[in-house]
Structure 1
Amino acid sequence: MFYWLMKRVFVGPLLRLVYRPWVRGAQHVPGDGPAIMASNHLAVIDSFFLPLVLDREIVFIGKQEYFTGRGLKGRMTAGFMRGVGTIPVDRGGGKASEAALRTGLRRLQEGGLFGIYPEGTRSPDGRLYRGKTGIARLALESGAPVVPVAMVGTGVAQPMGRRIPKVMRIGIVIGEPMDFSRYRGMENDRFILRSVTDEIMYAIMSLSGQEYADVYAATQKARIATGHPAAAAAEERLPAAPGGRPVPDVQVPVPPEDGPAPA
């Protein structure tokens, strides 16, 4: 109930009015049954705009810090995240991350949509980073299709450190569902998990037109924080696309010239 109130009465109408979100490929989202919505991650507002353009309820994994803040703001944030069904995850890994993924698996077994950011954290510079293999495990264990998603413009509207997104059009491009049933029962094979993950990341890259960096986003953030970003020479040795594939011949999507935001 809280989810739909926020989407249709409180937050949703305001976001539509101010940011005029546009969407392509909405027909690729299954009308019923389980599906994993796998998106790039450029800003906090990604988790607001993707649900806005979907007819079905979607649940995301959210970092533990969203649920542990102090004071009025912290309590309001935690209440909002719980209200929209966000699942807390300890990004430190280990048993806590495993529990969050198991919760996602239960969501899929119940026939719902589960949203996940395979990069594990926001991109520090707008590039698409190496995907973590948890999404592949979810896909193989659940048998659910993976629907690739590209968020467009959210990183410009809300770069790192900015709380209030600047006013501009936000886009969402949704690709065709990906079926990995051919790998069912192979969820413990790390080579298969990496292959499936790279295939998903390549699909996201093909939708978003982002440059790819074959390192984890968290690793790059740590380099930046310590004043040691990857050297240009090292970057040149990275694969051009996930799994060493050639770079897809695509551009960053642009909004339609005319037309209202989707209803």
Structure 2
Amino acid sequence: MAELVYPPVIGIARTMFKALDLRFDIKGTENIPPRGGAVLASNHIGYLDFVFCGLTARPAKRLVRFMAKEAVFRHRVSGPLMRAMKHIPVDRAAGMDAYRHALKSLRSGEIVGVFPEATISESFTLKSFKSGAARLAQEAGVPLLPMALWGTQRLWTKGHKRDMGRNHFPITIRVGEPVEADPADHPDKVTDRLRSRVQELLEAAQRAYPVRPKGPDDTWWMPAHLGGTAPAPREAAALDRR
């Protein structure tokens, strides 16, 4: 079936990125398979992360179907778009339906995008990972691709106003080689491998990031362990619980 909505949305996103004068540093896109199913698993630090994750699949001429909370599909603007782009709604009260939907998509040759942390990390460090991404890759028999984003939190993230001005923000993205997802392994073991690899990619993206905070008022987007003023992981976890 022809994709009537997804490609134009990508075109609009690219136009927006050009207008914002974002500077991209993307490496590892050769790890996105040109055909067949795959699970793309990324850290989650901003509301626009799914857009940037999707960019990594464009060199392979692929589209990514993201798993997203069901509330996004109920929104009068985003809902019709999400459904038309064949993304996958996740109702936390009935998570198995989303799992089956994602599994069917993978087996039909789609790339499914997953944020294993489930929600945005307000500390900008990795939270614990849910095992769903690993289980999907194991059951569908598809590659499990780790990915890390850095810089997207400066545009729009939880607890901060959107900054969609022409600020020349750098966006650094790294896609790694597939993580071993042997069906014989326990999903928690595969999840641990995935999280470890995403952590390595995140640290590499942070090291490659070309700018540092401009002053005391510009440290909010840096994690505490790197000298920033973002909440420490324990504090961020308390914010999540509230």
User: Same fold by TM-score, threshold 0.5 exceeded?
Assistant: yes
Structure 1 counterpart of 2:202:
208
Q: How far off its partner does 1:87 sit? A: 1.1
Aligned letter for 2:238? Answer: R
Aligned residues: 206
Among all aligned residue pairs of Structure 1 and Structure 2, give the percentage whose two residues are the same amino acid: 30
Normalised to the residue count of structure 1, the TM-score between the two structures is 0.71
Secondary structure of 2:180's aligned partner: coil
Q: How far off its partner does 1:33 sit? A: 0.9
Residue 37 of structure 2 is aligned to residue 22 of structure 1 = no
Mean alpha-carbon deviation: is it higher for 106-115 or for 44-53? 44-53
Structure 2 counterpart of 1:179:
180
Q: 1:131 to 1:225 in 2, by over 3 A?
A: closer
Indicate conservation of the 8 Å contact 1:153/1:170, yes or no: yes
Indicate conservation of the 8 Å contact 2:148/2:174, yes or no: yes
Structure 2 counterpart of 1:4:
7
Normalised to the residue count of structure 2, the TM-score between the two structures is 0.77
Q: Deviations over 1:168-221 (max 9, x none)?
A: 12121100112323x34x6xxxxx11111011000000000188xxxxxxx975
Q: 1:53 to 1:196 in 2, by over 3 A?
A: closer
Structure 2 counterpart of 1:64:
70
Q: 1:41 to 1:225 in 2, by over 3 A?
A: closer
The aligned runs of 1:87-98 (5 Å cut-off) are 87-92=88-93, 96-98=94-96
Distance 2:30 2:45 in 1: 23
Indicate conservation of the 8 Å contact 2:123/2:236, yes or no: no
Residue among 137, 143, 146 paired with 1:139: 137
Q: How far off its partner does 1:159 sit? A: 2.7
Structure 1 counterpart of 2:81:
80
Secondary structure of 1:115's aligned partner: strand
Q: Deviations over 1:202-250 (max 9, x none)?
A: 0000000188xxxxxxx975622677xxxxxxxxxxxxxxxxxxxxxxx
Q: Deviations over 1:113-138 (max 9, x none)?
A: 11001111111211101101111211
Aligned letter for 2:187? Answer: L
Distance 1:177 1:226 in 2: 32
Q: How far off its partner does 1:161 sit? A: 3.3
Q: How far off its partner does 1:86 sit? A: 1.9
Structure 1 counterpart of 2:219:
none
Aligned letter for 1:142? Answer: A
Aligned letter for 2:42? Answer: S
Distance 1:226 1:177 in 2: 32
Indicate conservation of the 8 Å contact 2:54/2:64, yes or no: yes
Residue among 25, 32, 36 paired with 2:35: 32
Residue 238 of structure 2 is aligned to residue 223 of structure 1 = yes
Which runs of 5 or more structure 2 residues have no equivalent in the other structure? 207-222, 224-233
Distance 2:29 2:163 in 1: 24
Structure 1 counterpart of 2:46:
43
Which runs of 5 or more structure 1 residues have no equivalent in the other structure? 69-73, 187-191, 212-218, 228-263
Q: 1:52 to 1:43 in 2, by over 3 A?
A: same
